[in-house]
């Protein structure tokens, strides 16, 4: 009986290791090499905050309100494919993940660009680039799930100097400067899928799709976070907190799973609402999918093909 028990334990361990290997095979890879973009000194919150605020301003201060279990666009701003300047902005973000995208790539949204935006923010703000070897701070990628996976791997393997710390959003309240990440499309993106040695058997084998924003302001009831490709622009999201200070899920929109704390040096101060920003008193309803422009203002008779989602985007 004792021999049988040891054989069973060994069998479970082997299954767990196979699951971990499955995750590594699908997510490890080499991190992207940004085009025309080099780290600018030491990563700091001031640089991240300033870059986030500048891009939010460029897109017209769009605000998305998730309080009350709903999603409302309270300030429209620029749309990714309806303004040639916005197209150029998104192309800048794509270069941060080594993608030489053209304007049609943006206008037809062949790939979601929210992770490219976050990668651009951190690379431009001084994060050293990981090359797939567990060293460095940030792994530029066009998928949020991938760069968070690299952060979690470093957290498991490195005994000191851990660049980013990954926490379970169900138990840790986000602070100003944190990345907050939600699951998308009922994928296996979850804290347990990253940091448990054998992963979660119920989610193994499914792709991981996520969305992350950066918290720039917080009060007792909500956090305000800026991210890309939110309602087709760079937008500030208002996300409610429960009495414990934890992120509240918004049905159909955001299912929060992970909080990531970057290694910022020095004080972390909240972003103030900038001069020139005014709340829109006529909020509009959010949309899940919108027909993209790609019309003769850019190229005559151009048509967009339906986008096929990629694993781990």
pLDDT recorded at residue 229: 93
Tell me the C-alpha distance between 69 and 227, whole Å: 20
Sheet strand arrangement including 222-227: 165-168, 255-261, 179-183, 210-218, 222-227, 235-240, 62-65, 72-75, 284-285
pLDDT recorded at residue 51: 96
* Residue recorded with tokens 């509009």: 284
pLDDT recorded at residue 160: 61
What integer best gives the mean pLDDT of the chain?
A: 78
pLDDT of 201 over the 60 cut: no
> How confident is the model over 208-218, as a mean pLDDT?
94
> How confident is the model over 110-122, as a mean pLDDT?
90
Determine contact, residues 260/151, Cβ cutoff 8 Å.
yes
Containing 57, the helix (H) or strand (E) segment is helix 45-58
For 236-285, how does the pLDDT look when each residue is reduced to its tens digit (9 = 90+)?
999 999 999 999 999 889 999 999 999 997 889 999 988 777 777 778 88
For 22-48, how does the pLDDT look when each residue is reduced to its tens digit (9 = 90+)?
333 345 556 777 776 555 678 899 999
Helix 114-124 and helix 144-157, axial crossing angle in degrees, nearest 10: 50
Strands 255-261 and 179-183: antiparallel
């Amino acid at each position: 009986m004792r021999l049988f028990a040891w054989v069973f334990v060994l069998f479970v361990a082997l299954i767990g290791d196979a699951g971990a290997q499955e995750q590594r095979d699908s997510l490890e890879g080499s991190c992207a090499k940004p085009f025309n973009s080099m780290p600018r000194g030491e990563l700091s919150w001031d640089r991240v905050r300033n870059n986030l605020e500048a891009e939010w301003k460029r897109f017209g201060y769009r605000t998305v309100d998730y309080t009350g279990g709903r999603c409302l666009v309270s300030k429209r701003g620029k749309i990714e494919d309806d303004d040639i300047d916005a197209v150029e902005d998104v192309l800048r973000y794509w270069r941060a993940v080594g993608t030489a995208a053209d304007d049609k790539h943006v206008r037809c949204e062949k790939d979601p660009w929210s992770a490219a935006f976050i990668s651009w923010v951190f690379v431009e703000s001084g994060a050293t680039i990981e090359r797939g070897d567990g060293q460095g701070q940030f792994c530029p990628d066009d998928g949020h799930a991938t760069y968070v996976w690299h952060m979690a791997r470093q957290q498991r393997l490195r005994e000191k100097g851990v660049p980013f710390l990954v926490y379970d959003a169900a138990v840790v309240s986000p602070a100003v400067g944190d990345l907050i990440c939600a699951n998308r499309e009922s994928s296996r993106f979850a804290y347990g899928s990253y940091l448990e040695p054998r992963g979660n058997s119920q989610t193994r084998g499914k792709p991981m799709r996520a969305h992350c924003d950066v918290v720039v302001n917080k009060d007792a009831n909500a956090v305000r976070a800026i991210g890309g490709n939110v309602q087709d622009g760079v937008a500030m999201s208002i996300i409610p907190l429960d009495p414990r200070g934890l992120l509240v899920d918004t049905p159909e929109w955001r299912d929060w799973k992970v909080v990531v704390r970057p290694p910022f040096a020095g004080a972390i101060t909240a972003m103030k609402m900038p001069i020139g920003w005014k709340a829109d008193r006529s909020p509009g309803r959010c949309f899940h999918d919108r027909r993209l422009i790609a019309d003769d203002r850019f190229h005559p008779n151009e048509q967009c093909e339906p986008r096929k989602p990629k694993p781990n985007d």
